[in-house]
A and B are shown apart, each in its own frame.
Chain A
Amino acid sequence: MNKTLPTLAEAVAGIADGAVVMIGGFGGSGAPIELVHALIDRFLKTGQPKNLTIVNNNAGNGHVGLAAMIEHGMVAKLICSFPRSADPRVFTERYLAGQIELELVPQGTLAERIRAGGAGIPAFYTPAGFGTALAEGKPVEEFDGRSYVRERWLKADFALVKAHLGDTLGNLTFNKAARNFNPLMCMAATTTIVQVSQIVKPGAIDPEHVVTPGIFVQAVVEVANPAQEEDLNRANAHFPEVAA
């Protein structure tokens, strides 16, 4: 078995119009920018994929990564907890113009919905949001004297994930706090596509150190020196580069 692919373009080739796509990361930390940019490249060449539903904690920052996907018109709906950032103009303008749908989810509920999706748990109860506008219309139940809101699982057709090491079987490690939503999204998508800083042979990752077991991963592609969103934004980068 070998889950590695030679290019980013091949890794994202199967994502179709209207797909639900989870994108890992918390802000720029753990965001698979190169996979996202490969998907934008494909869209600019072929017009596909579009009308995507994106699941991410945020809504992009500046004009790279997820913000660039939104800017190029690929995203119909966003499911996130915090659609603000240092430079949120791309999402904000489209949202206020009614051009993009937003499903706002408390951050811990978002994480647990994704985990539940991956774990085969169709619904669960959480105290988060009880008595607030975000629980309107949702079933509420009392357990041991406290009230809880019922939330549904969240699953996706694809997950785009950034990891540190990945072996050819898809076992993964992550770098510091870049872990965040990435291991959860690996579990919750039908097809999980991971960019790793280095592809290694099976056995090169100590089994005690595997964070995401390869069963949750379908494709691995190497991006040796991945860009950081924060660095790109400090350089005022746009994707793709626009000739002056």
Chain B
Amino acid sequence: MSTKLSATQIAWRAAQEISDGAYVNLGIGLPEMVARFQPPGRQAIFHTENGILGFGEAPPAGEEDWDLINAGKKAVTLLPGTAFFHHADSFAMVRGGHLDMAILGAFEVAENGDLANWSTGPKGVPAVGGALDLVHGAKQVVVITEHTTKDNKPKLVKRCSLPLTGVGCVTRVYTSLAVVDIQGGRFVLREKLAAMSLDELQSVTGAELVVNGRVADLVVPEL
């Protein structure tokens, strides 16, 4: 195994926690990949905020129906049992506590559960989409992300410096190096790569990693 998980492997790891029949919203980009790695025998029902529950994979090129897209504006397909609804009902599912899990990307996650994932600063055109809504209401709000930025700065931090998406909203983080719960305003380490010492992991993390109980090895298949 290499020194860190690939994006695909992070998505695989997060997918293992989705239970059969769970209602799950996957954010645009890396989180969308989670759908590919549902364990055998488990079938989540995916929600997209533009008004579909229970959609399937992308159709073959040339067979797209552009009235049937996901939140990333990509064509999807119908599954038996798909439901359509308007945008107000869609976000009622989100804020009303009806989703079991929302899986989102991140620029920064803080130990108090704050998330920054929509803006890297004041330049350019601001755009939020559904991110600010999606962090509220789901029973679990899960982040999947590289452990550090491209220039090796921690993405798990004491306090977010970028514009916030939500306050105290994240419950778990899957990174390229570790699995971390957010409990009582602290990062609690659950899994780490076996080849990495706790000190090494702490040195690329911007806030204290609390060890509270067993820390398991983070094991994923080659993908």
Contact = CB atoms under 8 A, between A and B. Distances in A.
**Listed residue (A28, A106, A184) with the most chain B CB atoms within 10 angstroms of its CB:** A106
Contacts of A111: 86-88, 90-91
Contact of A179 (B69, B73, B84, B125): B84
A44 interface: no
B44 interface: no
A115 B87 CA distance: 9
The bracket for how many chain B residues form the interface is 35 or more
B176 interface: no
A33 to B, nearest CB: 11
A96 B124 CA distance: 7
Given A107-B87, A176-B68, A134 B128 contact: yes
B130 A106 contact: yes
Interface in A115-148: 115, 126-134
A2 interface: no
A181 B64 CA distance: 21
Interface secondary structure of B, over-half rule: loop
B139 to A, nearest CB: 14
B27 interface: no
B50 A184 contact: no
A128 B95 contact: yes
Q: Which of A109, A111, A130 has the most chain B CB within a 10 Å cutoff?
A: A111
Nearest to B64: A230
Interface string A165-186: 0000000001111111111100
A152 B67 CA distance: 30
A51 interface: no
A14 B51 CA distance: 31
B132 interface: yes
Contact of B91 (A28, A88, A112): A112
B57 interface: no
A184 B68 contact: no
Which 3 pairs from chain A and chain B are nearest by CB? A108-B91, A108-B133, A131-B167
